[in-house]
Amino acid sequence: MRLKKHGFWYHLLDVLFNIVVIVAIVAGIRTFLVSPFQVEGSSMVDTLTDKEYIIINKFAFLLGTPGRGDVVVFRPPNEPKKYYVKRVIGLPGDAVTIKNGFVFVKTPDEKDVTKLDESSYLSPRNLGHTFKHPPSSGDQTLVSYDVPEGKYFLLGDNRQGSLDSRSFTGENGEPEPFVQESEIKGRVWFIALPITKIHALEAPEYGL
């Protein structure tokens, strides 16, 4: 059997074609499936810490919607060009109340208000210390949020040091505590770096 010999340009085009295919595959994966991010700041300690690398699952929200307790990456209304990472607390139709340092939720299907059990992810410093804006104020005055359809209410796990739905504002400077579903880009799948902290994140069970 004789093999046909190809010239330089054929091999060059073959290499370029393979590069284009690889780049397209990587771009498709980053756009529709998974994407890496680096955490900045301390708003999610102890769950996530500064400079950790996380992998987000974008595909999850192509097929479904964010769930309560999911840690997500999103664009906030006050800084639409930046990415934030927080935890989903209120779903569309929920009534979220912050009272005496704790978070309470009333879902559309329930008559009673439920106090969220956040002990699995809030540190002793933050458990029972969720206050109205500003988060470090210690102000335990009751404040309620009725989450509109298509939007979500999010809080950082570092309740005394997180800019989140309690402090978001719109373009006009007025309070805008809710995040549009289309602005939630993916769920944090796992911590990738440092190696000593590699593990997957799972949403807690609230019993709601």
Three-state SS for the chain is: CCCCCCCHHHHHHHHHHHHHHHHHHHHHHHHHCEEEEECCCCCCCCCCCCCCEEEEECCHHHHCCCCCCCEEEECCCCCCCCCEEEEEEECCCCEEEEECCEEEEECCCCCCCEECCCCCCCCCCCCCCCCCCCCCCCCCCCEEEECCCCEEEEECCCCCCCCCCCCCECCCCCECCCEEHHHEEEEEEEEEECHHHCEECCCCCCCC
Residue that wins the pLDDT comparison between 27 and 55: 55
Q: Is position 132 annotated as part of the catalytic site?
A: no
**Amino acid at residue number 133:** H
Check pLDDT > 60 for residue 83: yes
Catalytic residue, candidates 4, 35, 42, 43: 43
Over residues 156-167, the mean pLDDT reads 97
State residue 25's pLDDT score: 45
Q: Is position 43 annotated as part of the catalytic site?
A: yes
Check pLDDT > 80 for residue 14: no
Residue that wins the pLDDT comparison between 16 and 102: 102
Query: Bridge partners of 38?
Result: 53
Tokens 């690398």 found at: 53
Reported as half-sphere exposure (CB side, CA atoms, 13 A), residue 16 has a value of 6
Q: Which CATH number fits domain 8-200: 3.40.50.300, 2.10.109.10, 3.40.50.720, 3.90.950.20?
A: 2.10.109.10
Check pLDDT > 60 for residue 27: no
Check pLDDT > 90 for residue 19: no
Over residues 5-28, the mean pLDDT reads 58
Over residues 133-147, the mean pLDDT reads 93
Average pLDDT of the residues of the chain: 88
Q: What does the pLDDT look like over 60-77, one tens digit per residue?
A: 888 899 999 999 999 999
Tokens 């479904």 found at: 64
Check pLDDT > 90 for residue 163: yes
182: nearest Cα among 67, 30, 35, 74: 74
User: What tokens were used for 52?
Assistant: 């950790």
Over residues 165-190, the mean pLDDT reads 94
Catalytic residue, candidates 5, 42, 86, 119: 86
d(CA 91, CA 1): 67
> Exposed, middle or buried: residue 22 (CB in 10 Å: 0-12, 13-18, 19+)?
exposed
Check pLDDT > 80 for residue 188: yes
With contact defined as beta carbons under 8 Å apart, do 164 and 130 qualify?
no
Over residues 83-112, the mean pLDDT reads 96
Over residues 173-201, the mean pLDDT reads 94
State residue 59's pLDDT score: 87
Residue that wins the pLDDT comparison between 29 and 37: 37
With contact defined as beta carbons under 8 Å apart, do 58 and 74 qualify?
no
